Amino acid sequence: MPKVYNWHIGRETDYRYEEAHPDRQLVAIFNTNRCLACQTCTMACKSTWTFSPGQENMWWNNVETKPYGGYPRGWDVRTLELIEKANPGGQNWKTNQKGDRAPYGVFDGKTIFELAPIERFALGYEPEDEDWETPNVYEDTPRAGLGRRGEYEKGGEFGKHPTWFFYLARVCNHCTYPACVAACPRQAPYKRKEDGIVLINQERCWGYKQCVQACPYKKAIYRPDTRTSEKCIGCYPRVEGTDPATKGQPMEARCMGACIGKIRLQGLVSIDKDGQWTKDPEHPIYTLVHEEKVALPIYPQFGTEPNVYYIPPRWVPRPYLRQMFGPGVDEAIERYTNPSRKLLAILQLFRATQTMIFKYEIIEGKKIRDVTTNGKKREIFNDTVIGYDKSGKEVTRISVDEKIHVRPAKYRNSV
């Protein structure tokens, strides 16, 4: 197989096709510390794209309670088990030797492409029908198990570790090296040059389900009535700017724009010919991923270079998080817990507007208070952050110090 460079793992990996990159890449950042599992994102997607007969069990966006929730059930545990079986004890990271091209260290294990069985292009499995039936099994539940039928009816039990959970919102990662693209014998899934969105050509798809089996995130889903596979389309008409609400400017996807918890920020980043992100310190997503380093790829060791990044939850045991987000977790949590002035300002941009932000500017404000977090003293300044769309027009302006509106007494206890 050809070799491609994957900067998440700091080295080359096998891939079915020669290395090629889009001009721009659709990227999202999810702040897990803020998700409340309201499922507004899930329903925004469902009511837009997957409401038809035959799509009943199809959730392009889902929010699962980790560690036990999952859609399809147990998707990550089963993939990790497959990998462990194929490469026992070998999934480790080495300290970074290559500077900026390996920001999280060098992965010393094997990716799903390197572990592919001889007749395939990626290691994977096809979930069973019951795995797709119930996206919310184990919501808010600390009981152990992979959610096979019969297990969850037994009722609650506490596991052997201190109880904790967090909500993990998931969409297709529009990967740089998509396993769905690699696996298909019909070349039905493809990656767009203009924005890196991965689509499945419905006319080419013959329903072989190779993409379903290969995608380690299980975001390619089979539709029985059309006998084709479908997946998140990144709301590409909105990304292209065809929604009248933004007057021709690129717009965030439905799940992003609907987020109640303001955990999501989506944008388009420029990609150099060698696959690296073009240096752009005025872009909020570039700054969060490459400068502030608070947002990390999910399961980077799978090797697909996913383009959804997560700010990890502060309260979850670190070994679990290091397995899910790689060795950058400790630094990311430290930086998020004690944010720089710049980071605190940029975090205000999450869900401030549905128009994609291509550039931010910070206007410094007055000091408003001293705070102590985890024993560290910090000063808080009421800085203002301004977001600009692709054309350079201001689309949002928001300050660090949120205004509090006190409801007048005459409206108390009224709806």
Residue number with the smallest Cβ distance to ligand SF4: 261
Question: Is residue 107 within a helix (H) or strand (E), and if so which, with residue range?
Answer: strand 106-107
Give the E-state strand segments of 83-201 in sequence order: 93-94, 106-107, 166-170, 189-191, 198-200
How far is Cα 324 from Cα 306, in angstroms, rounded to an integer?
13
CB 188, CB 205: distance < 8 Å: yes
Here the tokens at position 49 are: 């794209």
Draw the binding track, 180-209, toward ligand SF4 (x: CB under 6 A; -: no contact): x-----------------x-----------
Task: Kindly indicate which of the ranges 29-37, 90-98, 281-289, 322-330 contains the residues binding ligand SF4, using the contact rule CB under 6 A.
Answer: 29-37
Determine how β-strand 11-14 pairs with β-strand 376-381.
Answer: unpaired
* Torsion on CA atoms 150, 151, 153, 157, rounded to nearest 10: 160
| Nearest partner of 239 among 223, 227, 254, judged by Cα | 254
The answer to the question of residue 8 lying near ligand SF4 (CB under 6 A) is no
Here the tokens at position 186 are: 């019909």
Which amino acid is present at 118? I
Task: Kindly indicate which of the ranges 30-38, 143-151, 235-243, 367-375 contains the residues binding ligand SF4, using the contact rule CB under 6 A.
Answer: 30-38
The answer to the question of residue 174 lying near ligand SF4 (CB under 6 A) is yes
The answer to the question of residue 27 lying near ligand SF4 (CB under 6 A) is no
The answer to the question of residue 40 lying near ligand SF4 (CB under 6 A) is yes
Q: Rank residues 198 and 294 by Cβ distance to ligand SF4 and give the closer one.
A: 198
Question: What is each CA distance from 19 to 12, 274, 384, in whole angstroms?
Answer: 10, 9, 41
Draw the binding track, 222-251, toward ligand SF4 (x: CB under 6 A; -: no contact): ---------x--------------------
Task: Kindly indicate which of the ranges 10-18, 146-154, 167-175, 402-410 contains the residues binding ligand SF4, using the contact rule CB under 6 A.
Answer: 167-175
Task: Kindly indicate which of the ranges 39-47, 76-84, 372-380, 386-394 contains the residues binding ligand SF4, using the contact rule CB under 6 A.
Answer: 39-47
Q: Rank residues 70 and 178 by Cβ distance to ligand SF4 and give the closer one.
A: 178
Here the tokens at position 288 are: 């969060």
Q: Cβ of residue 307: shortest distance to ligand SF4, in angstroms?
A: 8
How far is Cα 104 from Cα 33, in angstroms, rounded to an integer?
21
The answer to the question of residue 253 lying near ligand SF4 (CB under 6 A) is no
- Residue written as token pair 């290969």: 214
Residue numbers of the site for ligand SF4 (CB under 6 A)?
35-41, 63, 167, 169, 172-175, 178-180, 198, 215, 217, 219-220, 231, 258-261, 263, 304
